[in-house]
Amino acid sequence: MDTRPAPGTPAYFAGRAEAFAIIRELQEAADDVSRAFDVYEVAAWDTAYETFDGTFDQFVERRGAQLHAADERYEEALGRARSHPAVREILAAQGREGLLKDWLLAA
């Protein structure tokens, strides 16, 4: 039995709005992970780290913490996205189903 609201009803549009907000949150979290990982990787290979106010180890530790926090936000957003019935449908229509995969978590 399909329990989704009928298209065109206020409940339908409320569910869609919620789904789009979840998708936006998921995309932002994915972007944060990607940026944090890129900066962490660059820092690990950057020979000009002496310009950082502190030691290289402190820099890597701080960036690692940022990467971990971004990854946690992504995991939480991914869980919300997977549990919402309209998110998969919307992402499939947009050709963006890849956002629902664990590809970032393996990075």
Question: In the chain, what are the domain boundaries?
Answer: 10-100
For residue 1, what pLDDT is reported? 55
pLDDT tens digits, 44-101: 555 555 555 556 666 667 777 777 888 889 999 999 999 998 999 999 999 988 888 7
Residues 40-45 have a mean pLDDT of 53
pTM of the model: 0.71
- How far, in Å, CA of 56 to CA of 79, rounded? 34
For residue 97, what pLDDT is reported? 86
Q: How many CB atoms lie within 10 A of CB 10?
A: 8
CA separation, residue 23 to residues 10, 51, 67, 96 (Å):
20, 38, 20, 10
